[in-house]
Amino acid sequence: MRRAGLAIAGLLLGLGGTAAFAQAAKCPDGKPADGIERAGDARHCLVIRTLAPGQPSRITPKVLVVFLHGDNGGRTELKADSGTAAMLAEKLQAVTIAMQRPGYRSDLGVSDGQSGAGDDDYTPQNVEVVAAALGNLRSLNPGKKILLAGHSGGAAMAALLASRFPGSADAYLLAACPCDVAAWRQWRGSSAGKTGAWSRSLSPLAEASKTSPDTLVRVVVGNKDENTLPQFSETYVRALQARGVKTRVTYAMSATHVSVQRAPEFFMLAGELADTLSK
């Protein structure tokens, strides 16, 4: 893992990033917030996995992609050779960071923050932790624009960052977003017997009025999503449009809650945003 991290650091250096291990802040666990394996500051750090495209000569030099995974009860995998982040790296030919959300565990370590088996973790504190990690990545990658993509709960976190910390990314891609948390939890209670209302989580819909009209955001949802129904994305987008945000809902045809991450529409929107940021 260390050798792979050094190789990616060399790639980032060649593209204008700093990747300066000696100058990186120390995380609470003593590891450096180097933008390769950890991102954050002295108070909180998130575990990350940095993935480079297979053809570095064709890399998109001006864009850094960050992917936030969905809810999974505090445990996830940051796969090096598969998963949405790896596919984004290849499809966009851009360095992509799989970011482990606050409180989550994987074989690579534990991210600071709070999570648990019952989720309900779209909290102000966790949003702030992710914002600090993105700030760390921005400082380590001068000249790069950040495209923040999220799936499901990761999309909700990305939407909250867009409203609460607008400088955390330059563009946002939300896939299968539970953007109306109250209505979504009510639906999940009746459709799947899940625990009902969440008391700690922020709702992107309630925060939409804080979103700047010039925010670059795209929303995609599977037309066969039976978890985060299309209506939860539609309601959120209408609230953004009322603020003057120029956005829309894109429907991934025949895609479910999970398979939207493999849908052509998802990668199409990611590519469009990356192209816009590269200009």
CATH number at residue 214: 3.40.50.1820
Q: Examine residue 58 and state whether it is found in any structural domain, yes or no.
A: yes
* DSSP label at residue 144: P
In angstroms, rounded to a whole number, what is the distance separating the alpha carbons of residues 156 and 68?
Answer: 10
Among 179, 276, 182, smallest CA distance to 220 is for: 179
The H-or-E segment that residue 217 falls in is strand 217-222
* pLDDT given for residue 19 in this prediction: 46
**13-68 confidence digits (pLDDT tens):** 444 444 444 467 899 999 999 999 999 999 999 999 999 998 766 777 899 999 99
Q: Is residue 262 part of a domain?
A: yes
d(CA 208, CA 222) in angstroms, rounded, equals: 22
User: What's the pLDDT score for residue 14?
Assistant: 45
Q: Classify residue 21: in a domain, yes or no.
A: no
CB 140 within 8 A of CB 64: no
What pLDDT is stored for residue 253 in this prediction?
Answer: 98
Q: What is the pLDDT of residues 137-170, one digit of tens each?
A: 999 999 999 999 999 999 999 999 999 999 999 9
The reply to whether 25 falls in a domain is no
Which helix (DSSP H) or strand (DSSP E) does residue 172 occupy? Answer: strand 171-175
DSSP character string of 9-65: HHHHHHTT----GGGPPBPTTS-B--SSSEEE-SS-EEEEEEE--S-GGG--TTEEE
DSSP count for the chain of H helices, then E strands: 8, 10
Q: Is residue 137 situated within a structural domain?
A: yes
- Angle at CA of residue 100, ends 213 and 13, nearest 5°: 80
User: For residue 114, is it within any domain?
Assistant: yes
Domain of residue 88 covers: 43-278
Which residue did the predictor score with more confidence, 222 or 20? 222
Residue 271 maps to a domain: yes
CA 8 to chain centre: 20
Measured CA to CA, the distance from residue 219 to residue 216 in angstroms comes to 10
Q: What are phi and psi of 203, to 5 degrees?
A: -110, 125
CA atoms of 175 and 196, how far apart (whole Å): 22
Residue whose token pair is 């850094």:
64
In the prediction, which pLDDT does 113 show? 97
Single out the residue of 49, 170, 164, 36 nearest to residue 100, CA to CA.
49
Which H or E run includes 184? helix 181-192
Sequence-ordered alpha helix ranges (H) in 100-152: 124-140
For range 222-247, the mean pLDDT = 98
For the ranges 102-116, 177-191, 250-264, which has the lowest average pLDDT?
Answer: 177-191
Specify the residue for token string 């590891």.
Answer: 31
Contacts (Cβ under 8 Å, ≥6 apart) of 150: 67, 68, 69, 70, 156, 157, 158, 159, 172, 173, 174, 175, 177
Number of domains in the chain: 1
Three-state secondary-structure class, residue 111: coil
Report pLDDT for 25.
87
What average pLDDT does the chain have?
91
